[in-house]
Structure 1
Amino acid sequence: MNKSPKEFHFNQLTRVDVEVVNADENYEEAVMITDEETIERLRKIFKQVEWEPNAEPKMARMEDVKATLFFEYDKNMPERLFEYEIWFNQRNDTATIISNNEKEGFGTLDKDHAQTLKKILLR
């Protein structure tokens, strides 16, 4: 059974740097997530995102969190970094995500996964 590119991609996740946006719309100091248990939970969550690669969304406010995901595709090469801007939607408890990875682009995450992601990133 072949793994989908999305599955392979997130299986290579090794680290996440999280910058929370505060009330003044400034980034707080980055928090690094490297423990394997949390990284595994994040891998599972990001695999659930429904991506729309060619969408060009305009968001009304600044993101709640900026997460930089580190991927190791090859031990002999430097890690690849992708930035994810994440909005947690109060109305329906979902999440909206914009990735700078052109294969992903604009994504949405359902209520259950969004709430878990929120707990991990906003701790």
Structure 2
Amino acid sequence: MSKKTNVSLIMCLIFAMFLVGCINKSSNEFDLSQLSRVDIEVVQEDGSYGEAEMITDEETVDALRKAFKQIKWEPNVEPKMGRKEDIKATLFFKYDENMPERLFEYQIWFIQSNDTATIISNNEKERYGTLEKDNAQILEKILLKN
């Protein structure tokens, strides 16, 4: 191999490594470990939202991270629900200290008949999700403070 070929090969390798680094960074864009805060609004009987409450303590945020990791997302489903959600939650993600937080809104329904939860997200990578009994009960206990 000539020196020119070696230099070209090294440049291609560096470029490929750069691309892989960018791809990995973007795939972690919605990493729940970056969750820093959750604001919740409980839907009142008249359909209005109650006063927003902020959840910032690390123990509770960590419990919410664990529950949200268990959601089975179906991004290609176009959901329609028969009633207004029980909770509107806004999740705040801090990816970079020099950038503002990213916010995603979640509408959450607690289905009493089978103790599950249905979640609709404005994050297009998630959109519609379900949460099985145990984690749905944990989420409900935290968000509704039962």
- Cα 1:6–1:91 shift into 2, 3 Å: farther
1-side partners of 2:29 and 2:116: how far apart?
Answer: 21
Structure 1 gaps of 5+ residues are none
**Residue in structure 2 matched with residue 41 of structure 1 by the alignment:** 63
Matched to 2:114, the amino acid is N
Q: Which runs of 4+ in 1 moved over 2 A?
A: 5-8
2-side partners of 1:112 and 1:22: how far apart?
Answer: 25
Say which structure is richer in helix.
2
* Equivalent residues, number: 120
3-state DSSP of counterpart to 2:134: helix
Across the aligned residues of Structure 1 and Structure 2, the Cα RMSD in angstroms comes to 1.5
- Cα 1:104–1:75 shift into 2, 3 Å: same
2-side partners of 1:7 and 1:49: how far apart?
Answer: 17
Q: Following superposition of structure 1 onto structure 2, how do residues 14-29 of structure 1 map, counting pairs within 5 Å?
A: 14-29=36-51
Structure 1 residue 75: Cα displacement = 1.3
User: Whose radius of gyration is greater, 1 or 2?
Assistant: 2
Structure 1 residue 54: Cα displacement = 1.2
Question: TM-score, structure 2 length as denominator?
Answer: 0.79
Question: TM-score, structure 1 length as denominator?
Answer: 0.93
| 2:54 corresponds to 1:32 | yes
Of 85, 88, 95, the residue aligned with 1:73 is 95
Structure 2 gaps of 5+ residues are 1-23
1:6–1:47 Cα contact (<8 Å) kept: no
- Greater relative contact order: 1 or 2 (C-alpha under 8 angstroms, separation 6 or more)? 1
**Residue in structure 1 matched with residue 114 of structure 2 by the alignment:** 92
